[in-house]
């Protein structure tokens, strides 16, 4: 790598953004931050701009942007982009080599497509983009000749095992799952789960939405859908296995029965650094596994009926792209309502199931068809 790779970071103030900044600090000779975006966290974003001398920043919340301008938070020499249009503008900046998408939800779908069209490689840390528009994102990337580098630990593990290539001898992909916060809890007590309990993950440090999704296993369902598009694998060749330690991040099984897995401690920094420096490697920002100490790895099948959101995701995966989009949108609305105490924990799969039943599969000829389904699902989920 002769010159530093120029990086735009969408979602700079979230948990994935924080992990990415640790990597950027450790490898300033290899990586240069040239653009950052956040929703409302103006002061945090301005601090990042000053630390890394970033020339482009974006606040998608227009009220936060106006207040930031009034208070003079951003230094001279930094251009502030605003709103959804600003996010698209910063994602396609000509100075960038790679865009790291770490925005929760589907808000970054259009900016990601704009970055692809501009010829930028994409580091994907937002699974919802692929769940909603996976076929269109893959087609756009192939057309533009850019790389899609998966930063979710499960997909990054598969990518590493496959060495970035499709393999005709592949039998199936097996995604590991910790089981979430309530994997050992009596199912009869889940109706009393509070948002505070559901946002405390046993292994990972993540944002509240993703942590709740881990507890319901909706997150694993979204990852299954993303894997279907990223690796062009049909639903019947995708599996999930419980793995409490979150050290083996996924398996690749070949037709002869051989299985490859990728191991690292449960931190997003390993997958993110692999993507940001790919195909090169460098010392990590956290310690690797230490095999001089005892280490146990447990695997078990997912208990039938324990995680209804995972069952709904598998059903959507088998049904078609509209069902996948509807699953994602309904879950996003339900989790948001749970986090503010509007519904209970067990209401999340009920809302998702009801919306899936209310919006049947239909033909899809354009991305707009899926965006329409997304909007309908959100409206119906809010009503429920």
pLDDT at 165 over 90: no
Question: What tokens appear for 384 in the block?
Answer: 């429920």
Read off the pLDDT of each residue in 8-34 and give the average, rounded to a whole number: 97
Instruction: Output the CA–CA distances (angstroms, integers) from residue 224 to 44, 186, 193, in the order listed.
Output: 33, 26, 26
pLDDT 10s digits, 186-215: 999 999 999 999 998 777 667 789 899 999
Token pair 């993540």 is found at 206
- Which of 25-34, 73-82, 99-108, 148-157 is least confident? 99-108
Enter the pTM of the model. 0.93
The per-residue pLDDT of the chain, averaged, comes to 95
pLDDT at 147 over 70: yes
Domain assignments of the chain as residue spans, ordered by start = 5-155, 183-216+304-384
- Its sign, for the CA torsion 147, 8, 229, 235, is positive
φ, ψ at 252 (rounded to 5°) = -120, 120
Q: Is there a contact between 37 and 64 (Cβ–Cβ < 8 Å)?
A: no
**Predicted local distance difference test score (pLDDT) of residue 205:** 64
Partners of 82 in the beta sheet? 59
Is the pLDDT at 66 greater than 90, yes or no? yes
**Band of the pLDDT at 1, cuts 50, 70, 90?**
low
pLDDT at 382: 94
Instruction: Indicate whether 104 pLDDT > 90.
Output: no
Q: Which CATH number fits domain 183-216+304-384: 3.30.420.40, 1.20.1260.10, 1.10.1740.10, 2.40.430.10?
A: 1.10.1740.10
pLDDT digits (tens, 9 = 90+) for 224-257: 999 999 999 999 999 999 999 999 999 999 999 9
Strand partners, 35: 8, 56
Structural fold of domain 5-155:
Rossmann fold (3.40.50)
Contact 264, 246 (CB under 8 A): no
Model pLDDT for residues 276-290, shown as the tens digit of each residue: 999 999 999 999 999
- CA dist 367 → 55, 129, 133 (Å): 32, 12, 7
The span from the CA of 193 to the CA of 186, in Å, is 11
**First-to-last C-alpha distance (Å) of the chain:** 52
Distance CA 255, CA 171 (A): 5
């Amino acid at each position: 790598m002769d010159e530093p790779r120029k990086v735009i970071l969408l979602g700079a103030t979230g948990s994935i953004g924080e992990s990415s900044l640790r990597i950027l600090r450790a490898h300033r000779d290899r990586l240069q931050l040239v653009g950052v975006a956040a929703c409302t966290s103006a002061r945090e974003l301005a601090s990042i701009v000053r630390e890394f001398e970033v020339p482009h920043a974006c606040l998608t919340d227009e009220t936060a942007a106006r207040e930031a301008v009034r208070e003079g938070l951003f230094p001279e020499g930094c251009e502030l982009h605003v709103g959804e249009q600003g996010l698209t503008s910063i994602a396609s900046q000509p100075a960038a080599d790679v865009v790291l998408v770490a925005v929760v939800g589907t808000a970054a779908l259009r900016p990601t497509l704009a970055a692809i069209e501009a010829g930028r490689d994409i580091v994907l840390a937002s699974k919802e983009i692929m769940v909603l528009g996976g076929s269109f994102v893959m087609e756009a990337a192939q057309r533009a000749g850019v790389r899609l580098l998966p930063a979710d630990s499960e997909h990054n593990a598969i990518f590493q095992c496959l060495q970035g290539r499709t393999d005709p001898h592949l039998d199936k992909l097996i995604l590991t799952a910790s089981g979430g916060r309530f994997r050992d809890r009596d199912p009869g007590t889940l109706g009393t789960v509070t948002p505070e309990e559901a946002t405390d993950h046993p292994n990972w440090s993540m944002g509240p939405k993703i942590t709740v999704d881990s507890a319901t296993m909706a997150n694993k369902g979204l990852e299954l859908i993303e894997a279907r598009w990223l690796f062009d694998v049909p639903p019947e060749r995708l599996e999930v296995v419980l793995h409490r330690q979150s050290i083996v991040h996924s398996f690749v099984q070949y037709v002869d029965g051989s299985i490859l897995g990728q191991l690292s401690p449960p931190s997003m920094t390993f997958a993110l650094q692999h993507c940001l420096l790919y195909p090169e490697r460098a010392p990590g920002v956290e310690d690797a596994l230490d095999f001089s100490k005892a280490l146990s790895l447990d695997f078990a099948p997912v208990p039938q009926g324990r995680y209804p959101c995972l069952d709904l995701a598998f059903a959507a995966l088998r049904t078609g792209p509209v069902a996948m989009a509807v699953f994602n949108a309904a879950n996003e609305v339900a989790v948001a309502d749970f986090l503010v105490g509007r519904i209970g924990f067990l209401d999340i799969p009920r809302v998702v199931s009801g919306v899936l039943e209310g919006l049947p599969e239909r033909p899809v000829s354009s991305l707009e068809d899926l965006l329409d389904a997304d909007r309908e699902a959100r409206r119906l989920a809010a009503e429920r």
